[in-house]
Amino acid sequence: MQQDTVGTLIGAMATEIACFEAYIASQRAFNSALRDRDWVALQTAMELLDEISSSLAERESARAEAFERLRAELNCEASGLYRLALLVAEPSRSELTDLYRRLKIAAMRAKFENASASDFAAGNRDLLRAVLEELFPEKRGRIYGRSGRTVQPGLDSLVLNTAL
């Protein structure tokens, strides 16, 4: 029974890693579309990222469930995977720890891709705000909504026509 649970955990971790890899590839497509100002590709990438994010949440839930089941079977009080892996037989132990490292690396790569897109968008927003304030000093600090009324400046996104 324990070997089945270990196999389930290994499978859950492998599918979560594959899901992270798909997320990273989609995030790169998103970044590329954002930099190229290809709004159709950007919309497609956003929809794909949404789907993959939902799938990733399911995979993470399955992995956490398998981890807790194995922890209960082994009567392990520690919450870390490395402590749990010490109680597993050797061929599976190495595979578990290797998959765990790969999972952490994939999660960090996804975090870096997200930060890259965020930094690019923030830089463009700041540049555009500075240009608009320079061109229209009398409207400095004011941002107008679709209705033409002044709205409070914040961290909201700003969408412009590609001709600008």
Q: What ranges in the chain are assigned the alpha helix state H? A: 2-36, 39-73, 81-85, 90-135
Residue 78's pLDDT is 75
Beta bridge partners of 150: 144
Q: Per-10-residue mean pLDDT for the chain, 164 residues long?
A: 82 94 93 88 91 93 91 83 84 90 93 86 81 71 72 58 54
Q: What angle do CA 35, 109, 120 make, to 5 degrees?
A: 25
**CA atoms within 13 Å, Cβ hemisphere of 15:** 17
Residue 164's pLDDT is 46
CB atoms within 10 A of CB 93: 16
Q: Is 109 helix (H, G, I), strand (E, B) or coil?
A: helix
Residue 108's pLDDT is 94
Residue 152's pLDDT is 65
Contacts of 108 (CB under 8 A, 6+ apart): none
Torsions phi, psi for 16 (to 5 deg): -70, -40
Residue 101's pLDDT is 94
For the whole model, what pTM was predicted?
0.71
Residue 161's pLDDT is 60
Q: Residue 74: which of 122, 5, 18 has the closest Cα? A: 5
